[in-house]
Amino acid sequence: MAMHFKIVGGGPAGLYFAYLMKRSHPDYVIRVVEQNAANATYGFGVVLSERALTFLAEGDPAAIARLSRRMETWNVQHIVHRGVRVVVDGSSYFAIERLALLEELQTRCREAGVEVEFGRRIESRASGQDCDVLVAADGANSAIRDCHPAAFDTRIVELENHFAWYGVDKPYDAHTLTFVQRNRCTFCAHHYRYTPLMSTFVAEVDAPTWQGSGMSSMTDDGRKQLFEDIYRDTLGGNKLISNRSIWCRWRLVTNGKWHYRNRVLIGDAQRSAHPSIGSGTRLAMEDSIALWRAFEAEGTDIGAAFERYERERRPIRDKLSTAAERSIAWYENVGSKVALSPYEFAYDYLLRTGLMTRERLERDSPRFMERYRENVNSVKTP
């Protein structure tokens, strides 16, 4: 039986699922409905780890290989504290312009025969009636999910820190975190290049800084100028570039149930990943792989496919959510860490999620650990 899938949202999750499904079942009707134009998006570049790319290649190795060719890569991370740059070796990272990622996925969808409709927003409770399966891939503020908050058991928590996502005309050498203290306030920037000329620059402050620096009563323009002033050296005098760069607090979304009737949640609609663990795009696309696999295993039995998807995917999502919660707590309490020396600070940061251990650092980042031991006399080797 040929099935009809309607996918709301043409972000990484929706497009990758549509492509995988159509590639396996050319006879199925697979439609994506996206509210924006094909070439519109928010933000700049996203970063993915090597592990993330390996996971994603499970869906379609050739598509991911093509994407890799458009990526910037580096194999160190820099953590700057008190003006000292600590180099952490041992991890490979890949970054890509969000729009380039979407364009690649749109091309794959078109070639496979997916119908993609741009410029149409869907938010009605009745939107699941004209298809067999309605996939809510409409992001963290999902309208499809929010039509049925009780059925999905949706919980939304607004976190304390404020952030905004900018770009800058400056290619940084590596994935860098730069912390700056001024007047008892702590400012944080995550910046990394995603094209040979451009970098993403995510600006973040904790709650005491938001109040203490006066940012709470500034306009977004004023906040941007403040960051340009504080990060003058890091930015090399460049201005920050806005693309709907609104200062806001992160909304952490979770759902007790991932499917309801013929509707299923994937990507940020299902669970919003915090940028400080840097893997929202990967997790969204892995959801797509998991849902596609569930349909491959269960055929046209929609209920069984939904159950399998949630059963197999939830433990992985839960593990990363625990890591994200610890990372969030670290950033919300960054003010209590600033007394640490640069190497102690970097070490504390690297171990913040519980996923990284001292043993793994010794194995994977030997040069960093060597410098760490040299710099931190009080640390006892096990």
Ligand X SMILES: Cc1cc2nc3c(=O)[nH]c(=O)nc-3n(C[C@H](O)[C@H](O)[C@H](O)COP(=O)(O)OP(=O)(O)OC[C@H]3O[C@@H](n4cnc5c(N)ncnc54)[C@H](O)[C@@H]3O)c2cc1C
- Kindly list the residues in this chain that would bind ligand X in the complex (CB under 6 A): 8-14, 33-36, 43, 46-48, 121-123, 137-139, 143, 163, 165, 202, 267-268, 273, 275, 278-282, 284
Q: Which of 116, 18, 11, 108 is nearest to 63 (CA)?
A: 108
How big is the CA angle at 268 (ends 97 and 217), to the nearest 5 degrees? 80
Q: In this complex, which beta carbon is closest to ligand X, that of residue 33 or of residue 346?
A: 33
> Would you list the DSSP string of 328-341?
HHHHHTGGGTTTS-
Closest distance to ligand X from the beta carbon of 95 (Å): 8
Torsion sign, CA atoms 159, 160, 166, 171: negative
Q: In this complex, which beta carbon is closest to ligand X, that of residue 41 or of residue 365?
A: 41
Beta strand ranges found along 258-366 (DSSP E): 259-260, 263-265
Closest distance to ligand X from the beta carbon of 234 (Å): 18
Closest distance to ligand X from the beta carbon of 328 (Å): 13
Q: In this complex, which beta carbon is closest to ligand X, that of residue 139 or of residue 167?
A: 139
DSSP letter assigned to residue 241: B
Q: In this complex, which beta carbon is closest to ligand X, that of residue 189 or of residue 369?
A: 189
For residues 261 and 225, give the distance between their C-alpha atoms in angstroms, rounded to a whole number.
49
Q: In this complex, which beta carbon is closest to ligand X, that of residue 247 or of residue 343?
A: 247
Q: In this complex, which beta carbon is closest to ligand X, that of residue 86 or of residue 324?
A: 324
Q: Which of 369, 352, 338 is nearest to 84 (CA)?
A: 338
User: Do residues 120 and 33 lie in contact, with contact meaning Cβ atoms separated by under 8 Å?
Assistant: yes
For residues 20 and 5, give the distance between their C-alpha atoms in angstroms, rounded to a whole number.
12
Contacts of 283 (CB under 8 A, 6+ apart): 267, 271, 273, 317, 320
Q: In this complex, which beta carbon is closest to ligand X, that of residue 136 or of residue 294?
A: 136
Closest distance to ligand X from the beta carbon of 374 (Å): 31
For residues 356 and 332, give the distance between their C-alpha atoms in angstroms, rounded to a whole number.
19
Using the CB atoms, write b or e for 19-56: b if 16+ within 10 Å: bbbbbebeebbbbbbbbbeeeebebbbbbbbeebbebb
Closest distance to ligand X from the beta carbon of 284 (Å): 3
Closest distance to ligand X from the beta carbon of 371 (Å): 26
Closest distance to ligand X from the beta carbon of 189 (Å): 12
Closest distance to ligand X from the beta carbon of 37 (Å): 10
Q: In this complex, which beta carbon is closest to ligand X, that of residue 147 or of residue 185?
A: 147
Closest distance to ligand X from the beta carbon of 35 (Å): 4
For residues 360 and 375, give the distance between their C-alpha atoms in angstroms, rounded to a whole number.
19
Q: In this complex, which beta carbon is closest to ligand X, that of residue 231 or of residue 343?
A: 231
Q: CA dist 74 to 35, 88, 89, 92, 125, Å? A: 34, 11, 10, 6, 45
Residue 315 phi, psi (nearest 5): -60, -35
Closest distance to ligand X from the beta carbon of 165 (Å): 4
Q: In this complex, which beta carbon is closest to ligand X, that of residue 75 or of residue 336?
A: 75
User: Do residues 36 and 52 lie in contact, with contact meaning Cβ atoms separated by under 8 Å?
Assistant: no
